[in-house]
Structure 1
C-alpha cells in the first residue's frame, strides 16, 4: 500500500500524463464557468477531486495549464474580480442553508395561499347562489326544516 507522498506523486504523474495527451477541443468539452471542471478532470485522471485541491503540485500544474489555455483562447480570460479573489479563501455563509429552506417554505406557502384564495372565491359564489335560493324559498313560504 502506498503512503500519502507516494499516492500524491502517483496522482501528479497521472495528471501530467493526462494533460499531455489532451487537445484544445478536449479541454473545451470539460470547460465549466471559465475553468476546467474539477470533477471531470478528477474522473479523467483517476483520482479524487480532493487531490486536485489539496495536492500543491497538481494545483500548481492545473493553474499553469488553465493559464496556458486562457492565453490560447480555449478558456475565457479571468475578470478583474476573479484575479483579485484568486488567492483569497471563500467566505463561508452559514445562513445559506436557512435561506434555502426559507425560500422553499415561502414558495410553498404562496402556492397554498393562491389555492385557498381560489377556493374562497368558489365558495363565495356558491354561498351567493344558495343565499338567493334560500331567500326565494322563504318568500314563497317553503322553509326547510
Structure 2
C-alpha cells in the first residue's frame, strides 16, 4: 500500500500531467472567481479535493499555474465572462487517460535514464573484473 508521500507525489504528477495537456478553454471553463474550481479539477484528476489544501507541493504548483494563467490577457478577459456561465462539459475519461499517458511517459523517460546509468556502471565493473583477472594470472 502506498504511503502518504507516495500519494502526494502521485497527485502532484497527475496535476502536472493535466497542466501539460490542458487547453486554455478547459481552464476557462473551470474558472470560478479567478481560481480554478477545485471540485471540477479533483474530478478530472481523480484525486480528493483535500489534496489541494494538504499537499504543499500541489498547492504551490496550482497557485503558480493560476497566477500564470491570470497574467495572460486573453485568458483574463475570458475568465470574467465564464464566471457567470456553467461549465460547458463534464470531465471525460479521455481527460483522465491523457493525463495518465503523460505521467507514464515521464516515468518511462526517468526509468530509461536510470537504465542507461546502470549500464554505464555495469560496464565499469566489467572492466575492473577483467583487470583483476589479468592481475591474478600475473601473480
Give me the whole-angstrom Cα distance separating, in 2, the residues matched to 1:47 and 1:12: 10
Higher relative contact order (CA 8 A, sep 6+): 2
Structure exhibiting the larger radius of gyration computed from Cα positions: 1
Instruction: Quote the residue 1:34 is aligned against.
Output: 34
- What TM-score do you get using the length of structure 1 for normalisation? 0.50
Unaligned runs of 5+ in 1: 77-145
Contact conserved, 1:31 with 1:75, CA < 8 A, in 2?
A: no
Give me the whole-angstrom Cα distance separating, in 2, the residues matched to 1:5 and 1:33: 31
Instruction: Quote the residue 2:97 is aligned against.
Output: none
Unaligned runs of 5+ in 2: 78-139
Query: Is it true that 1:46 corresponds to 2:46 in the alignment?
Result: yes
- Give the structure with the higher percent helix: 2
Deviations 1:34-53 (A, max 9, x none): 11101011111110000011
Aligned length: 76
1:10-21 aligned within 5 A: 10-21=10-21
- What TM-score do you get using the length of structure 2 for normalisation? 0.53
